[in-house]
Structure 1
């Protein structure tokens, strides 16, 4: 589990990219595993910057291509090994790191304290290899991140996949109930919130699994395919918000983006609280009103008709305002919407008939 710390100054590398660089199967991970197996311990800094120069004392300067075996040999010396920012070259070895003691650290070991403070002060990723515990720990972006063995990561990813599968099944059932209610004009606030809650829960579980996939590297190809299939369409949540957010007209992209951001920011405890979700959309936020009827604008229904693109949905929704009016419309009514040709009007009319 990742533990938060206080971020330092400098230009920190993206944590996801760093984890990809350190994933099993990469040359750098191979080198780190060799250090761990040798039980000598080590410090590896990814990135050679001016900020790092300020806290380096001594060492050997050179510039050679990275090799796992060379990293192992250089780590036998007491100091840190410094790599280029892409970890493709070894630039220094046997470097004594002297970060400022003003940066907080929860570590007790000398090597780990130096690693955490160096990461905080320079913003560079630093990996500490413990000789006594045989563990790898990454310090980056103000976080302490243990690098687990592939078997542990794979087990965790498979558990996460099972969770995503359960959420997907429940979401599909709730989604189908809401869609039938939409097409027959009896959808309620509670129906919408039920789908919204399950959609966000599935997305969060999928994001957690995605972190495990990044750390697994080449061992995660099959899991990546399964997760992509389970996630489904990327804009499902966007369409739900566009259908039900309370607005006087067709909600613009900025309003939708702000709403999606507010939903993403909800803590898990609030996510399980339906009134909190309702307030974000502007829907009635008291449980006695959850049986109150709501009318969708029609985005979700139009998305089920093949090849209907978003700009066309916007024009149709602007013309009809709500799904029941669109369902009752004839092709000659639909063609009145801006940029809708007679051919598209017939295609949409037939598609809605099939869905009904």
Structure 2
């Protein structure tokens, strides 16, 4: 699973993504096969580091892609304010603290990394030889890959995610029948949760790439949104339904966060749900009974607080199936209309299974 990237770093990446004035300028620099070193710092802060920003000359002009491109033809660094609204200086000689460690080898990139660490600011370096944009911010480094490569990679990953989601939804539909028939196995539930974790974790790996695509990633963003539709809520309800212990919604959310980091093995997920089974065969022979949260919330849209009262009264879906309208409507918040809707939905699932 990809490491969690701080939101402040993501915001910096957005500043450099396609569709921004800054990215337009960087693309022009790359197209001309020029190198560049750009520091983003406000004027007052720059003045506080005379030992770092040496020589050069003041520009103090509104930012424009064309202006930055022309200035990149000169030696030295360009200084831009943090809002990317003004170009403050050009031809600046940067002198970072040489004791700051750096993993870079080229002079431009070593300077960029040290400045970013020393001043806690965003610095961009463009390699003249490789035509690659590298963003440094504090201790973080992000290399912008070729746009066509990123688009292809994101599209392929989304194709996989869409197939996974299709399987997940199909198994949820099958689960409806299994729950009504009282034929749900632990192995089946573990498979559903495992698939949910796979979708979630693969998503985490491409979200940054979609952000990096900027306006070029709008279609990919829409496709990803559809893949993730209700995934967290459905996963939460599965945990509340099938965890061996009764868990509150708040506890289930904490468990769900833990679940994303589990190893993709059925037995691992079985233990996560509180079941101590020794083999996948044993898990496939262990029958589990849902409490009914998922059916009440998603199929009938009963509010969670009312669903909780139903489950407190009936304990599990097996008992709920056997009740009638008169008993069900006595629960606070249900009434005759909701009682009929619940039993009608259960009957409809049975009929579709036919």
* TM-score for the superposition, normalised by structure 1: 0.87
Please point out which of 235, 238, 241 is paired with 1:240: 238
Conserved 8 A contact 1:42-1:75:
yes
Aligned to 2:40: 46
- Measure how far apart 1:259 and its partner are: 0.5
Query: Hey, what's the Cα distance between the residues in 2 that align with 1:22 and 1:309?
Result: 43
Q: Deviations over 1:280-327 (max 9, x none)?
A: 221234215302111111112123324323332222222222111112
Please point out which of 239, 254, 261 is paired with 1:258: 254
- Measure how far apart 1:61 and its partner are: 4.4
Query: Hey, what's the Cα distance between the residues in 2 that align with 1:326 and 1:72?
Result: 70
- Between the two proteins, the alignment pairs up a number of residues equal to 343
Query: Hey, what's the Cα distance between the residues in 2 that align with 1:310 and 1:3?
Result: 33
Please point out which of 4, 15, 28 is paired with 2:9: 15
Task: Please report the RMSD computed on the Cα atoms of aligned residues, expressed in angstroms.
Answer: 2.6
Query: Hey, what's the Cα distance between the residues in 2 that align with 1:65 and 1:218?
Result: 24
Query: Hey, what's the Cα distance between the residues in 1 that align with 2:70 and 2:26?
Result: 11
Alignment of 1:155-174 (within 5 A): 155-174=152-171
Query: Hey, what's the Cα distance between the residues in 1 that align with 2:184 and 2:26?
Result: 56
Query: Hey, what's the Cα distance between the residues in 2 that align with 1:262 and 1:199?
Result: 13
Q: Does 1:276 find its partner at 2:268? A: yes
Q: Does 1:311 find its partner at 2:300? A: no
Q: Does 1:231 find its partner at 2:228? A: yes
Q: SS of the counterpart of 2:299?
A: coil
> Structure 1 residues 189-198 or 340-349, which shifts more?
340-349
Conserved 8 A contact 1:13-1:125:
no
Aligned to 1:289: 282
Larger Rg: 2
Aligned to 2:52: 56
Query: Hey, what's the Cα distance between the residues in 2 that align with 1:144 and 1:338?
Result: 56
Query: Hey, what's the Cα distance between the residues in 1 that align with 2:138 and 2:158?
Result: 27
* TM-score for the superposition, normalised by structure 2: 0.87
- Measure how far apart 1:216 and its partner are: 1.2
Segments of 5+ residues of structure 2 without an aligned counterpart are: none
Aligned to 1:202: 199
Conserved 8 A contact 1:3-1:145:
no
- Measure how far apart 1:171 and its partner are: 1.9
Query: Hey, what's the Cα distance between the residues in 2 that align with 1:283 and 1:64?
Result: 66
Conserved 8 A contact 1:305-1:352:
no
Query: Hey, what's the Cα distance between the residues in 1 that align with 2:221 and 2:317?
Result: 36
